[in-house]
Structure 1
Amino acid sequence: MSATKELLPPLMKTESVLSERTLLAGVALSSFSALLLELALTRLFSVVLFYHFAFLAISIALLGLGAGGVFAHLWKLRLNAWETRRVAMMSTLLAAIFIPVVLEVVLHVPVALRLSAGNFLRLSVIYLCSAVPFLLTGVQFSTIFARESSRIPRIYGADLIGGALACLVIVPLLNWIGGPNSILFAAFISAIAAALWSATARARRSMLALAAVLALVMGLNVSGRLADIVWAKGVRRKNVEFARWNAISRVEVDHDDNGGRVIVIDADANTYIMNADISRWQGSGWQNNLMSAAPAVVNALRPHGDYAIIGPGGGVDVLRAVANGSHSVTGVEINPIIANTIMRDRYADYAYHLYERPDVHLHVADGRSFIRNARESFDVVQMTLVDTWASTAAGAFALSENSLYTTQAFREYFEHLKPDGIIAVTRWEFREPREALRVVSVAMEGLHQLGVTDASQHFILVSDGDLDEDGIPVAVLAKKSAFTPEEEATVTQHLRDYEDLRLLYSPFEPKPNAFSRLIQSNDPEAFTRTYEYNVTPVTDNKPFFFFTVKLARLLNLNSN
């Protein structure tokens, strides 16, 4: 006898009273709840854990659903004593109860990026607890599919419809109610499914009461008043003044010990909100601090230029450009919480209404798409530390796609520059250079595609101090035309004024380092063959900018 036949209950009269409408609606709701939970967990894990753990939710779902099927097979004799409707009702009820428990566990169990027994244990707790709702769904679906074999096509269709609806609503749900409430909404739908599966009016009322309680908790948890991030990346969140979720990220504003306000994205990347009065810029501490940073070199070269700034965040680059004399600064910020809620609303006064100035034009859009479709040309296209150093150092973005740093993207940036325009990209760099080095490689290939045969005269590189440790910002300036002696003199004077800055490369003063060797080779592919890291130009077909480890080096590290 097949396993399917063995799962059938002794009496078939149970199936005759289970209407097709109830069956299909119940399966669709359960599928909706399970997939919504899986998708919401990816967003929550990317904040609480690390970006490279975000897809842990997929393996958790597969583990739970598979374990549920195994459980249904091993316990088939006991399950045969229950009607299908009761199995489904109990599974969805328990899932509705356990999903809030999962939320609390994920929010309150700290996991750091350290290889230790304690971290492994805590990660295992999160993993196993998160798998329980999927296990319950697996038991439910295995039982239904085994007992309702004559209606499998329609059941499977209902399953797909429920999952598809979850994929459609996850983005608006994250935008409207946030990450924790999206998980609670999955519990709410599971409770509604339990009410649908209930065979008696009394049981149905109990399930609906549970759904009402969950809805009330969601209502009370607006803005995270009941359940929000407590631990993230192994660190307890504190000094949080404001927090909000959307489909892109979780954004909070913290206050530091000196009274500053910092925007923190997914409990990782951060950008300070500029609290500077531009009318008092000259000779101020703000001028000294901001102009002594590597990205400020482009402001010295183009003080009155038209700027396009991708990812302006709290306004560092915007303030620098306006204060130095630019009459047109276009900011392109992808996250509406940062652009609108924080910078133009809640903290507008604190930022001296920087983003509401007539010479600042802020757009909520993808940076590359905006530049590609822009009708005007710019003197400078600037990107400063658009991605976070912490995730880069952890290897979190190694296999993440990034379309901002591809050859095709840089060609689009060059095409929207004026004849003597500059692309200014600042990246965190290592003692063994690779990220800023790859920026040079990508920009060089973009110049080659525009007809520049020798790009050695088109680069200037400056760092925030010596590259004697990991995490030093390096500004890569790639000019559409060759740099002139006058521009070289301007950079030299700026470095004299701010002695902590270091010149890594200029056409008139190449240094004995990897940057000079790459630029003077004029051939990124040939340079990479003898370099320790893969810094070849990346393309839209393979936009893995942060994956710089060569296979041979990886195998060598593993062998050691």
Structure 2
Amino acid sequence: MALRPLHPSTTPLFVAIFFLSFGALLFQFVQTRMFSAMLDYHLTFLVVSGALLGVAGGGTAAAVMDVRARRPSSAQLSIAGAVATIVALAIETRIDPVSSGMFVAAGVAYVLGVIPVLCVSWVIVRALREAPEKSGLLYASDLAGAATGGVLGYLSIGTLGGQGLYGVVAGTALLGAAALLVPRPSRVPLRVGLLVVAIATTAVLSIWGETLAPPRPGPFKSDTMGVPHEFARWDPLARIDVARIGDLGDPGHYAFLIGQGYAGPRPPALMMTLDMGAFTPIVMHATDADLAVFDASVLAAPYAVAPRDSVLIVGPGGGIDVLNALRQGVKSVTAVEVNRTEVALMRGPYSEYSGGLYLDPRVHIFEDEARSFVRRSPELYDVLAITVVDSFAALTAGAYALTENYLYTEEAMLDYLGHLTPDGVIAITRWYRDPPAEIARTVGIADGALRRLGNDHPERSIAVLKHGLLGLVLTRNGPFTSLDMQRLRTFADQRGFSIALDPLAPGGQLVDLASAEAPPTDDKPFFFDSVAVSDILAGRAQLPYGYAVLLTTLVLSLTMATVFVLIPVYRGARRAAGNALPPGTVVALALGIGFIAAELVLLQRLTLYLGQPALALSIGLAALLGGAAAGSAVSPRVPLGLRSSAVASAVVLLLVLGGVPLVTSATLAAPLEARVVIAALAALIVGIPLGTIFPRLVAIVGQPALVSWVWAVNGTASVVGATVGTIIALVGGFTLLGLVAVVCYAVAAMFAPQPRT
């Protein structure tokens, strides 16, 4: 069957593709938030993989189904995408990950996440097949919509909620369907109906989403304890919940911090959770006698060896570190919290419960990212405290192995050390597992930073206190004296704690573990990746849960892409190419891997720079895709061939990815608004040349069968590249991954097919 030509007026098609791509990117954004809250952060790799598989699958569906006499219209596909979005939300929030198992829940969610994106991709590829000469503008509409969707997700999730964003996704798909309907008077009621349903769906899920589709926490989540919630709000950084046991709360939420010998009163507390897993207590306002419990806590240890004039607390959350500092007599407490919702709660609904802790004149709260704040702060602090909030169960299972964390890198420690008073200390609290991997890595970071500052005996400047499953790493610029250690031992003995690393007698397990591997850096910020790949391959260590998810995703996505995406279109492509390798195959493969690798590196650099993963994702993707959209739109007017565009992309990537660390390091102390502008410009510059290549490839191959083939190959390469790129970053760092991206675009230039004559 011959392909049907585009409608004479292609403007509605461009509008429809904009709406559909807008919703597809927004769907990926809200899926990552839902996965992170319900299951775990590392499972967001499934979201990316599933979305990319859906993109690739749309090309195959267009090639296989559109040649038949009866095919779904583009409007019907858009409506199907809207329905699939709501079905995905309904089923994902109905499956209990605890009773059904994580892999079952994740597998079902993976499949459900593919379908809406596949419907969108099908519409776009159909348009490219029917009008390859308009590929530049079609691709530009696609990328511009995706860029806008990413920004809206970040800006609106706090207002509409996670479930409300699913309604927006479905609504934009229905708007796309309305734009795709043939403009006849008889279709006006249908268009109005689609608009009404779009608005109603968004409104219902925004208002009653928590009742209709409440997320179910997975087995590594603290919310599995069944504690009743009294507050829930979605935030770009995390979903925030507050739970209460009993009428006033439960002191058990902070019991792990208190010495076992303490028998005095303990004020009750509420539990504030982030993404239903990591938690921070909100302690009820109490008398001085009740607050004596914190004198017996591990949090009081730094004040046994440091002055008490000025303290900086990173990530105060519910305020227990702030409360402890005031209890210890600190005159000025500065606290930096990146999550604005937590600060708003402590200043608003829970201000009275906490005794106006965040409104105390001695307390200065800054809504900012810690690294940037420390870098630009002129102040020196007696104590710089960072207290653990991670889930111990998830940590033990290796669920955080793939998580970047820029608070725990060698460069971060350099910043911290540079803001201490002469007798000041850095106090980092981490879980003390067996073996104590996180404590050892913290010791390694401190050791490396001290050596870079010219300290020839860093072991004399690091002490570790142990209390049950908790460890406290104390670091200062100068050595701990005999008097310091006498005070610390007295403090520990009186509370039932122990000294795990004595700077006056260094050595033992922690030192051995710390020296066994290089400490995390800003280029390899995987603090929780404490198991060496060589140990896994040699059978000396078990495969961490995060790695298992990553490898399972790789095998699953590669298998599904091969069977359902590549094989169905390969025969038609071979036939169109005269039984030879279809032209553009190598280029499409290189572009798929290269683009996703460049995207991963750019977003990593911007995450460190902006300090907020969700903000970096939104700004970085919006600018990158916006630049690519601009490049696609102007590509028909720029007299450059595919090879020249690929060379230009490789050069720009090399310059920008190489220069971004220098620029971001020099401007990390700048205000957030300035950093957002710089980040957007960097991503925009990268995106413009990258967006010119694929439309040129589509125009060159021309034939519908070959267009579907290069789309399928490109999508499959992106699916695999997302997982392989993560592995490369884990093993070799993000700089190596950036070089891989440059090489991919160089390969695309080498194998660029010649234009048709």
Superposition TM-score tier, normalisation by shorter sequence: 0.7 to 0.9
Residue 287 in structure 1 maps to residue 292 in structure 2: yes
Q: Is the 8 A contact 1:311 1:386 kept in 2?
A: no
Aligned partner of 2:313 among 309, 313, 330: 309
Q: Deviations over 1:199-241 (max 9, x none)?
A: 221321221222132133145237x344332444474865110
2:278 is matched with which residue?
A: 269
For 1:365, the aligned partner's letter is D
Q: How far does residue 7 in structure 1 lie from its aligned partner after superposition?
A: 5.5
Residue 541 in structure 1 maps to residue 523 in structure 2: yes
1:483 is matched with which residue?
A: 480
CA 1:312 to 1:135, structure 2 compared with 1: closer, same or farther past 3 Å? same
1:51 is matched with which residue?
A: 41
1:389 is matched with which residue?
A: 392
Q: How far does residue 53 in structure 1 lie from its aligned partner after superposition?
A: 0.4
Residue 508 in structure 1 maps to residue 498 in structure 2: no
2:65 is matched with which residue?
A: 75
Within 2, Cα distance between the matches of 1:180 and 1:198?
28
Q: Which runs of 5+ in 1 are unaligned?
A: 1-5, 466-471, 519-523, 529-533
Within 1, Cα distance between the matches of 2:350 and 2:357?
10
2:608 is matched with which residue?
A: none
Q: Is the 8 A contact 1:184 1:214 kept in 2?
A: yes
Q: How far does residue 414 in structure 1 lie from its aligned partner after superposition?
A: 0.9
Aligned partner of 1:254 among 243, 247, 258: 243
Q: Deviations over 1:383-424 (max 9, x none)?
A: 011544343223232222211111111111111101111011
Q: How far does residue 81 in structure 1 lie from its aligned partner after superposition?
A: 4.2
Within 2, Cα distance between the matches of 1:87 and 1:338?
47
The secondary structure found in structure 2 opposite 1:490 is helix
Q: How far does residue 476 in structure 1 lie from its aligned partner after superposition?
A: 0.5
Residue 427 in structure 1 maps to residue 427 in structure 2: no
Within 1, Cα distance between the matches of 2:410 and 2:541?
34
Q: Is the 8 A contact 1:240 1:254 kept in 2?
A: yes
The secondary structure found in structure 2 opposite 1:241 is strand
Q: How far does residue 379 in structure 1 lie from its aligned partner after superposition?
A: 0.5
Q: Is the 8 A contact 2:446 2:462 kept in 1?
A: no
1:356 is matched with which residue?
A: 359
Q: How far does residue 448 in structure 1 lie from its aligned partner after superposition?
A: 1.5
Residue 492 in structure 1 maps to residue 489 in structure 2: yes
Deviates more, 1:194-203 or 1:33-42: 194-203
Q: How far does residue 314 in structure 1 lie from its aligned partner after superposition?
A: 1.2
Q: Is the 8 A contact 2:284 2:355 kept in 1?
A: yes
Within 1, Cα distance between the matches of 2:272 and 2:240?
7
Q: Deviations over 1:103-124 (max 9, x none)?
A: 1111121224x9xx85443333
Residue 95 in structure 1 maps to residue 57 in structure 2: no
CA 1:28 to 1:261, structure 2 compared with 1: closer, same or farther past 3 Å? same
CA 1:185 to 1:550, structure 2 compared with 1: closer, same or farther past 3 Å? same
Q: Is the 8 A contact 1:35 1:163 kept in 2?
A: yes
The secondary structure found in structure 1 opposite 2:538 is helix
Aligned residue runs from structure 1 range 515-530, under 5 A: 515=510, 527-528=515-516
Within 2, Cα distance between the matches of 1:353 and 1:119?
40
Query: Size of the alignment, in residue pairs?
Result: 515
Which TM-score applies when normalising by structure 2? Answer: 0.65
For 2:190, the aligned partner's letter is A
Q: How far does residue 508 in structure 1 lie from its aligned partner after superposition?
A: 3.5
2:324 is matched with which residue?
A: 320
1:204 is matched with which residue?
A: 191
Aligned residue runs from structure 1 range 30-69, under 5 A: 30-69=20-59
1:24 is matched with which residue?
A: 14
CA 1:173 to 1:316, structure 2 compared with 1: closer, same or farther past 3 Å? same
Q: Is the 8 A contact 2:307 2:424 kept in 1?
A: no
1:239 is matched with which residue?
A: 228
2:370 is matched with which residue?
A: 367
Q: Is the 8 A contact 2:464 2:502 kept in 1?
A: yes
The secondary structure found in structure 2 opposite 1:439 is helix
Residue 214 in structure 1 maps to residue 201 in structure 2: yes
Q: Is the 8 A contact 2:41 2:403 kept in 1?
A: no
1:440 is matched with which residue?
A: 443
Within 1, Cα distance between the matches of 2:49 and 2:207?
31
Deviates more, 1:89-98 or 1:385-394: 385-394
1:8 is matched with which residue?
A: 3
Q: How far does residue 293 in structure 1 lie from its aligned partner after superposition?
A: 3.2
Aligned partner of 2:173 among 168, 185, 190: 190
Which TM-score applies when normalising by structure 1? Answer: 0.86
CA 1:236 to 1:173, structure 2 compared with 1: closer, same or farther past 3 Å? farther
Residue 331 in structure 1 maps to residue 318 in structure 2: no
Within 2, Cα distance between the matches of 1:440 and 1:87?
61
Q: Is the 8 A contact 1:7 1:76 kept in 2?
A: no
CA 1:202 to 1:558, structure 2 compared with 1: closer, same or farther past 3 Å? farther
2:452 is matched with which residue?
A: 449
Q: Deviations over 1:328-371 (max 9, x none)?
A: 1111111011112x111110011011111111111111112111
Within 2, Cα distance between the matches of 1:263 and 1:422?
28
Within 1, Cα distance between the matches of 2:87 and 2:201?
12
For 1:155, the aligned partner's letter is L
Within 2, Cα distance between the matches of 1:538 and 1:231?
30
1:3 is matched with which residue?
A: none
Within 2, Cα distance between the matches of 1:233 and 1:198?
46
Q: Is the 8 A contact 2:167 2:203 kept in 1?
A: no
Q: Is the 8 A contact 1:241 1:255 kept in 2?
A: yes
Within 2, Cα distance between the matches of 1:191 and 1:49?
29
Deviates more, 1:451-460 or 1:317-326: 451-460
CA 1:424 to 1:135, structure 2 compared with 1: closer, same or farther past 3 Å? same
Q: How far does residue 262 in structure 1 lie from its aligned partner after superposition?
A: 0.6
The secondary structure found in structure 2 opposite 1:33 is helix
Within 2, Cα distance between the matches of 1:483 and 1:75?
73
2:146 is matched with which residue?
A: 163
CA 1:456 to 1:265, structure 2 compared with 1: closer, same or farther past 3 Å? same
Q: Is the 8 A contact 1:421 1:481 kept in 2?
A: no
The secondary structure found in structure 2 opposite 1:248 is coil
For 2:28, the aligned partner's letter is E
Within 2, Cα distance between the matches of 1:274 and 1:452?
40
Q: Is the 8 A contact 1:311 1:331 kept in 2?
A: yes
2:381 is matched with which residue?
A: 378
Q: Which runs of 5+ in 2 are unaligned?
A: 251-268, 543-757
Q: Deviations over 1:117-169 (max 9, x none)?
A: 85443333222222221222233223222222332221111111111111222
Q: Is the 8 A contact 2:243 2:270 kept in 1?
A: yes
Q: Is the 8 A contact 1:408 1:540 kept in 2?
A: yes
The secondary structure found in structure 2 opposite 1:57 is helix
Q: How far does residue 27 in structure 1 lie from its aligned partner after superposition?
A: 1.1
Q: Is the 8 A contact 1:109 1:126 kept in 2?
A: no
Within 1, Cα distance between the matches of 2:512 and 2:309?
31
